[in-house]
Amino acid sequence: MTSVDARFLSSEPGPAELRGYSLPLSPTGQASMLSPPPWHFSGEVILIDYRVDPRIARRFLPPQLSLGADPGAAAAVFASWQWCSDTGTELTDPALNQFNEFLILLGCAFEGQPMARCPFAWVDQPVPLLRGWVQGMPKQFGEVYQSRAGAVGRAAPRLAPGGRFAGSLSARGRRLVEACATLAGVADQPPALHTMPLVHSLTFPAWIGKTTRKPDLVSSEVTDVEFSDIWQGSAELNFCPTIGSDLAEFATLAPVEILDGYVFSYAETLHGGRLLARGE
């Protein structure tokens, strides 16, 4: 017979108050799938700068946002992340604190401030999926793979001229995106879209009643941003043919021009959200 940890026993009769930052709620709140922010992230990134038809990009922006100073600016981002809360307890549980991500960024502006919009994102673990929805990021489940740099042997690319770093995204057994960056040298600065605040639409489908209120426009509060050396070079980016009406609009964000590729390490701390505009 298994004994019960005394921390989970109550000396008070009757039901306990249920707590938690997210579901599932429990008497102690420790069962929550998601811990409260701040969340700390360290990642390895492959980013491909490209251009999309500005008319298509405009369709993916809510009315409070404009295309900004560089209409059609876009980026395809592959990232392999480790994360932890302030306690750092997740660092000893790699199955929990590691995940892979792919997202699209579109250049935009809010009241003249340059920002980036993420119309599509995929992750391969449930915690970052839920964390994305809390932020207003449109995350879905997918299979994301990318090259890892190595210091020895022939089976890993080097962070050096000629190093080739590839990434791929698949969802529901269908390949959606393939990319590759071939390094030439160290860049003077990070790619622009990776330095801009992200702007999201915070919404949740109606469950009680039939009306879903319009989304709030929100941004994220980020500190402790760090970049490694930014390796830059030529790039390849291919959006693969897709089947299914839910993927048809994603395919419209395919490149009309491919620019440079970048490989770098990145870190940040995410503290929570900032309201930009209320949904009407």
Give me the domains of the chain, ranges plus CATH numbers: 36-277 (2.40.400.10)
What's the pLDDT band for 14 if we cut at 50, 70, 90? low
What is each CA distance from 128 to 16, 44, 123, 135, in whole angstroms? 29, 16, 7, 10
Cα 116 to Cα 219: distance, rounded to the nearest angstrom = 10
Q: Roughly how many angstroms between the first and final C-alpha of the chain, as a whole number?
A: 56
- Tell me: the pLDDT tens digits for 20-75? 999 999 999 989 999 999 999 999 999 999 999 999 999 999 999 999 999 999 99
Cα 133 to Cα 172: distance, rounded to the nearest angstrom = 20
Q: What integer pLDDT is reported at residue 155 of this predicted model? A: 96
- Tell me: the pLDDT tens digits for 152-204? 999 999 999 999 999 999 998 899 999 999 999 999 999 999 999 999 999 98
Across all residues in the chain, what is the average pLDDT? 93
Q: Give the β-pairing of 121-123 and 139-141.
A: parallel
Q: Is 244 exposed, middle or buried (0-12, 13-18, 19+ CB in 10 A)?
A: exposed
- Tell me: the pLDDT tens digits for 107-153? 999 999 999 999 999 999 999 999 999 999 999 999 999 999 999 99
Q: Is 232 exposed, middle or buried (0-12, 13-18, 19+ CB in 10 A)?
A: buried
Rounded to two decimals, what is the model's pTM? 0.93
- Tell me: the pLDDT tens digits for 205-263? 888 887 778 899 999 999 999 999 999 999 999 999 776 767 889 999 999 999 999 99
Residue 79: is its pLDDT beyond 80?
yes
Q: What integer pLDDT is reported at residue 115 of this predicted model? A: 97
Cα 204 to Cα 208: distance, rounded to the nearest angstrom = 11
DSSP string, 181-219: EEEEEE-SS--GGGSSPEEEEE-----SSS-PPPPEEEE
In one-letter notation, the amino acid at residue 206 is A
Cα 76 to Cα 255: distance, rounded to the nearest angstrom = 10
Residue 17: is its pLDDT beyond 80?
yes
